[in-house]
A and B are shown apart, each in its own frame.
Chain A
Amino acid sequence: MMNILIAGVGGQGTLLTSRVLGKYAQLAGMDCKLSEVHGMSQRGGSVTTHVRIGEKIYSPVIWEGGADMVIAFEVLEAARVKHFLKEDGILLVNDERILPMPCITGAVEYPSGLKASLLQEVNRAYFVPATEMAESAGSAKATNIVMLGCLCRLFGFERDVMEQAVSECVPEKFRELNLRAFDTGYNRVK
């Protein structure tokens, strides 16, 4: 049983990431449930999607303290959902800050030292500059696929199956770019 929570900011591609993982589960012949929320939760707000893969899945939603892995596309969002992690869970974070509106207007400050405290609190925390890596691979929009490459390695998923899942989930004209992004992510972590 694998519970993967994906957290990000509306528009960062959390939905695509969960759909690739869903495709992976299907290709690997496993049961799978995904949960996503559409509507008001988008528009630049916090977004989470839930991926559960295993022999037989009931709840489509991961619970607090139940995630084997949390992937966050932004540092503040990692801190927001950290409590979903199991004690020995893996936290994978894109080392990027995106200011939420209350910080843009100056109502509250973006907390300093988040990265340091997450690294201290979570035994298995990984920070990767996924946005920059995606840019080098061809487009910042492939940040989610860079993260997926990291996840694939950290979790020991079958690389070729995951690449097939990526290929099947992205439009053909962006396939090469995304596979490049996947590769940089995969090679980044050990």
Chain B
Amino acid sequence: MEKTQNTNKELMLTNRAVARGAYEAGVRVLSAYPGTPSTEIAENFVTFDGVYAEWAPNEKVAVEVAVGAAVAGARAMACMKHVGLNVAADPLFTSSYTGINGGLVIVVADDPGMHSSQNEQDSRYYARSSHVPMLEPSDAQEAKDFVKLAYEISEKFDTPVLLRLTTRVAHSRSLVELCEREDVPLRPYEKSVAKYAMMPANAIVRHRFVEERDSELAEYVNGLSVNRAEYTKSKIGVVCSGVVYEYVKEALPNANVFKVGTVHPLPIKAIQAFSQKVSQLFVIEELEPFIEDQLKAAGIKCKGKDIFSLQGEISVSKILEKFERLPVPVPDKVPPRPPVMCAGCPHRGVFYVLNKLKLTVNGDIGCYTLGAQPPLAAVDTVLCMGGSVSMAHGFKKATKGVSNNVAVIGDSTFIHSGITGLINAVYNESGITLIILDNSTTGMTGHQQHPATGKNLKGEPAPAVLLDDLCRACGVKDVSVVDAYDVAAVEDAIKKGIASDKVSVIIAQRPCVLLDKSPKPKAIVNGCRNCGKCMKLGCPAIVKGKDGISIDPVQCTGCGLCARICPFGAITVEKEGV
């Protein structure tokens, strides 16, 4: 095999390459909220010298921070997953009008196929509707290069720029060449109410500017090298972008390819010229017919979603199936292995009680969404970040208060957007019961800090929001704090909460078991009658056998939940050090 020169290159996660690109582009300020598959960008950026990076309580705050930093004259970045951009849509749309001072890039990571998400929305439409240009890289090297290009475009055209990733790009590793950090001085801030204070009279003028900028950008992108035609002797031509470009090159090595780097605005003229050199044109894109519709509107004949699905990911095998009639090998039918709550997870006991009490549970986004899975099967609804609290309020109002429902939310998600729902419930007097599962971290995305953990993105000590005080300050009279492992106390608190017609908050506290690295006590089974009660916990460490259960000593954390609920006292937990 030929050896290529890659001694100066690093095999890098694309999210790290985005962070590296921001560093090399002289970015000074980054704000983000964790969300798969975008989380590692902020985590990597903060490791560079001479930069400022933070976890914001939510994506709206993150974008506003970045806009503020950009208007103040610094190059700035905000990062989020696709649904986070819904939360941040408000500042996005108006920052398109104000424009920037220092360059501003907003990174959004879509999740086709929903590896870790509640929907598979296509964020490219945000670019179009907010009139903000959007770049889409295909691998780590491009991600780094595109970040730098994004800052050039941002400052050249006085606009925020969106950088779109998808899971397969964000979470793949490829070789990246490192460069030095560019010294980008802080631009002077000059007061301009007409530009930066958006009220009708000013916004009307800025809207005209946005339209002019759109026209200039639409022309400009046709000459960019990130939008390029790769010609062969084939008759067919494929228009694609992002990771799909990599799939097309793999599956159809002989096809003419137009690689789109700016998915908004599209290089329509360049694609038009490309289309005239091929006899049949295809658009291969994941999710919506975003490119296809615009080509058709421009009078360019092409095929796309009449061949490929709107759902899930494109793959090499799907392209081979459509173009080469090669059938996609199908998997054997085997039992699924869904993700489960970890052994020792402090959320488990709460869901066990909720299931036992047969309550309707308005759930939320986080590890505890797994409480919807059998055997706990304790969650009824999951909508969006913070949605549990407000939906529980809606349930109460719809049923004039008789519905037997509770809201369940994690600590990070509560800070993100649960708190506004709680204020609403207090103000509009619905008497909901809210359980905050406080595991002192953002669990599902891999243990990020948040405003209530007492640490910042760097892991340094930071002021901590006290959740119980915060709830009281919102006007909740009945706030109780319980140990999440103490199922009897959890059950008492929930019963008390649902019996009351006032808003009550139960904070079930216990740090995520994965954060606790101390030696674990062992659970011992003696005299199991195989009644099956502990099996209702859905603990992966408990295995049912013919003559009773056994506990896997590798997985067991000695949380003692099974010992607490065993009616025959057949499970005991050895005390530490014994």
Residues of A at under 8 Å CB distance from B? 9-10, 19, 22-23, 25-26, 28-46, 54-55, 57-61, 63-66, 76-77, 79-84, 99-111, 140
CB neighbours of A57 from chain B (8 A): 174
Question: What are 29 A-to-B residue pairs whose CB atoms are below 8 Å?
Answer: A29-B5, A30-B3, A31-B4, A32-B11, A33-B173, A37-B37, A40-B36, A42-B339, A43-B341, A43-B342, A44-B337, A44-B540, A55-B1, A59-B316, A60-B168, A60-B246, A61-B168, A61-B316, A65-B329, A80-B331, A81-B331, A83-B332, A102-B374, A104-B535, A104-B542, A105-B375, A105-B538, A106-B544, A111-B335
B23 touches A (CB below 8 Å)? no
Contact with A along B329-367 (1 / 0, CB 8 A): 111101111111110000000000000000000000001
CB neighbours of A22 from chain B (8 A): 11, 173
**A118 to B, closest residue via Cβ:** B332
* Contact yes or no, B335 A108, CB < 8 A: yes
Asked whether A41 and B339 contact (CB < 8 A) given A35-B171, A58-B246, A140-B554, the answer is yes
B116 touches A (CB below 8 Å)? yes
* Contact yes or no, B373 A104, CB < 8 A: no
- Shortest distance from the beta carbon of B255 to any chain A beta carbon, whole Å: 13
Asked whether A111 and B374 contact (CB < 8 A) given A22-B11, A40-B444, the answer is no
Measured between alpha carbons, how far is A26 from B543 in the docked complex, in Å?
42
- Shortest distance from the beta carbon of B232 to any chain A beta carbon, whole Å: 15
* Contact yes or no, A40 B6, CB < 8 A: no
* Contact yes or no, A76 B37, CB < 8 A: no
- Shortest distance from the beta carbon of A56 to any chain B beta carbon, whole Å: 8
B183 touches A (CB below 8 Å)? no
* Contact yes or no, A111 B334, CB < 8 A: yes
- Number of contact residues on B: which range applies? 35 or more
Binding site secondary structure of chain B? loop
- Shortest distance from the beta carbon of B444 to any chain A beta carbon, whole Å: 6
- Shortest distance from the beta carbon of B42 to any chain A beta carbon, whole Å: 14
Measured between alpha carbons, how far is A19 from B445 in the docked complex, in Å?
20
B115 touches A (CB below 8 Å)? yes
* Contact yes or no, B374 A41, CB < 8 A: no
* Contact yes or no, B337 A45, CB < 8 A: yes
B424 touches A (CB below 8 Å)? no
Measured between alpha carbons, how far is A55 from B317 in the docked complex, in Å?
21
* Contact yes or no, A45 B4, CB < 8 A: no
- Shortest distance from the beta carbon of B136 to any chain A beta carbon, whole Å: 15
* Contact yes or no, A37 B167, CB < 8 A: yes
CB neighbours of A109 from chain B (8 A): 335
Partner of A46, one of B320, B337, B373: B337
CB neighbours of B6 from chain A (8 A): 26, 29-31
* Contact yes or no, B315 A63, CB < 8 A: yes
Partner of A32, one of B3, B174, B375: B174
* Contact yes or no, B335 A44, CB < 8 A: no
A-B contact number at CB 8 A: 187
- Shortest distance from the beta carbon of A58 to any chain B beta carbon, whole Å: 4
* Contact yes or no, B172 A36, CB < 8 A: yes
* Contact yes or no, A34 B246, CB < 8 A: no
* Contact yes or no, B373 A32, CB < 8 A: no
Measured between alpha carbons, how far is A111 from B335 in the docked complex, in Å?
8
B120 touches A (CB below 8 Å)? no
Residues of B at under 8 Å CB distance from A? 1-7, 9, 11, 36-37, 39, 115-116, 139, 167-169, 171-175, 243, 245-247, 249-250, 315-317, 320, 326, 328-332, 334-342, 367, 370, 373-375, 444-446, 535, 538, 540, 542-544, 554
CB neighbours of A83 from chain B (8 A): 329-332
* Contact yes or no, A30 B4, CB < 8 A: yes
CB neighbours of B538 from chain A (8 A): 101, 104-105
* Contact yes or no, B329 A64, CB < 8 A: yes
Partner of A58, one of B7, B116, B249, B337: B249
CB neighbours of B172 from chain A (8 A): 33-36, 60-61
CB neighbours of A59 from chain B (8 A): 243, 246-247, 249-250, 316
* Contact yes or no, A55 B115, CB < 8 A: no
* Contact yes or no, B331 A40, CB < 8 A: no
Q: Nearest 4 CB-CB pairs, A to B?
A: A39-B116, A39-B36, A45-B339, A60-B172
Measured between alpha carbons, how far is A103 from B545 in the docked complex, in Å?
12
* Contact yes or no, B339 A66, CB < 8 A: no
Asked whether A41 and B316 contact (CB < 8 A) given A30-B3, A60-B168, the answer is no
**B320 to A, closest residue via Cβ:** A63
Measured between alpha carbons, how far is A78 from B367 in the docked complex, in Å?
27
Measured between alpha carbons, how far is A23 from B173 in the docked complex, in Å?
11
Partner of B335, one of A28, A30, A76: A76
CB neighbours of B336 from chain A (8 A): 46, 100, 102
**B138 to A, closest residue via Cβ:** A58
CB neighbours of A23 from chain B (8 A): 11
- Shortest distance from the beta carbon of A38 to any chain B beta carbon, whole Å: 6
* Contact yes or no, B332 A79, CB < 8 A: yes
Partner of A76, one of B250, B317, B334, B540: B334
* Contact yes or no, B3 A38, CB < 8 A: no
CB neighbours of B116 from chain A (8 A): 37-41
* Contact yes or no, B375 A66, CB < 8 A: no
**B313 to A, closest residue via Cβ:** A61
Asked whether A45 and B340 contact (CB < 8 A) given A30-B1, A37-B115, A61-B168, the answer is yes
CB neighbours of A111 from chain B (8 A): 334-335
CB neighbours of B167 from chain A (8 A): 37
Partner of A34, one of B7, B11, B446: B11
* Contact yes or no, B247 A80, CB < 8 A: no
